[in-house]
A and B are shown apart, each in its own frame.
Chain A
């Protein structure tokens, strides 16, 4: 086993395609679909890159943050737009926690007097 002091390595990102080693047909389907998802459509490729950047932060994937920071810049987005996208992700994450507070309130109401 090569020496890998961390779980995440930047140089592993370009090796993503190697995932086909185990299940080539599934990998092919995934990468075809992935490519189609990010193609220019009703949403522009630039808008899709911003969504991807926001989701990358929501799922806290360092590979995706690396890839879509660069992709968003290449597609013509700027720091202001990218930061707003990250705030959207953060707001949904924060809001998702907070809205569960209603469940807490329901329990409190059920259990209380």
Chain B
């Protein structure tokens, strides 16, 4: 069993609180505000293009405690999306005709109704995506899930920071790399990453305070090395920048590097990446049904604009697509370099 650490919440750390994180980030001088950066790119105020993805965060429980986790997820978290919220999400998905249902967490598999969410989402005709940490599916009560995902043709987006143990374990916990290989092997054996229609994408976050390199070049390296070393196949590699919030913010604070990191992100602002940020085509739903512009704003407890209904129970697609997106200094994380999103680089 891989090593797990107490979450910020369990530690009683001040940065467990979203408002405290926002206050800390607001205190840090940056070369220019995110709003000014957007203005320079002709994108202020930032508005959605079209909502194409409903991303539901079904809870914060996880069997891992990654050092960069923006959710502060872990085994000691108890937030779980209630049935009524799940029903409201599925109703909105159908009513709004949103083509993609993206299930995230925590480890979504640990939600008691995960299987039903997958099955019903697929039955509605949605393209279902599952954000997988590669080790929850090895737990005794969840070992049937890969077969279910394959049967429903669910796209798997799996986290693997590096193709060897030292780096992966430094970020995700000792022993996680070896367990992740077992998970990947199981998915490959079902045809994931090897068969048309069973898509297995990997996600890498830098193991440290630097930006990810070229997604295409890293994908070539990951494919070559995972195949050569472990006979593992996958479809695409997504690069995601570490967001200066939650546990990664706590890490930066402990190293005294928050200002340097935020400046690095701000100095790497790319207008093309800003035009393609994921909050323009995604709607994020929290475990309690609150609506957010993205999963990062969700963890900062920064809901969608007060000008629109803020709950999935009375979500209004037209109003949501006309809203102004809430931004802050953390948003430089999505616009630095080649950009960063739940689907990887954007520019």
Interface residues of A (CB under 8 A from B): 40, 44-46, 70, 73-76, 78-80
Contacts and interface: CB of A to CB of B under 8 A. Distances in A.
B206 A74 contact: yes
Contact of A74 (B162, B166, B167, B210): B210
B213 interface: yes
Interface residues of B, number: 15
Interface string B161-173: 0101011000000
A46 B206 contact: no
Contacts of B162: 78
Contacts of B210: 70, 73-74
A77 to B, nearest CB: 9
A45 B213 contact: yes
B259 interface: no
Nearest to A69: B210
A74 B208 CA distance: 10
Interface stretch (B72-80, B99-107, B214-222): B214-222
A110 B56 CA distance: 83
B166 A76 contact: no
B214 A75 contact: yes
B206 A79 contact: no
B164 A74 contact: no
A46 B213 CA distance: 9
9 contacts: A40-B214, A40-B217, A44-B217, A45-B213, A46-B217, A75-B217, A76-B218, A76-B222, A80-B164
A78 B166 contact: yes
A78 B162 CA distance: 9
Interface of B: 162, 164, 166-167, 206, 208, 210-214, 217-218, 221-222
Contacts, number: 34
Closest 3 CB pairs of A and B: A75-B213, A74-B213, A76-B218
A40 B215 CA distance: 13
A108 to B, nearest CB: 48
A76 B217 CA distance: 9
B332 to A, nearest CB: 17
Given A46-B221, A73-B206, A73-B208, A78 B213 contact: no
Nearest to A79: B166
B252 to A, nearest CB: 16
Tell me which of A44, A46, A76 has the highest count of chain B C-beta atoms within 10 A of its own C-beta.
Answer: A76
B216 to A, nearest CB: 9
Contacts of A74: 206, 210-213
A78 B221 contact: no
Contacts of B208: 73
A78 B167 contact: yes
B220 to A, nearest CB: 8
Contacts of A44: 217
Contacts of B214: 40, 45, 75
Nearest to A46: B217
Contacts of B211: 74
A78 B167 CA distance: 8
Nearest to B218: A76
A76 B213 contact: yes
A70 B207 CA distance: 11
B336 to A, nearest CB: 11
Contacts of B218: 75-76
B62 to A, nearest CB: 26
A46 B222 CA distance: 13
A76 B221 contact: yes
Nearest to B211: A74
A80 B164 CA distance: 11
Contacts of B217: 40, 44-46, 75-76
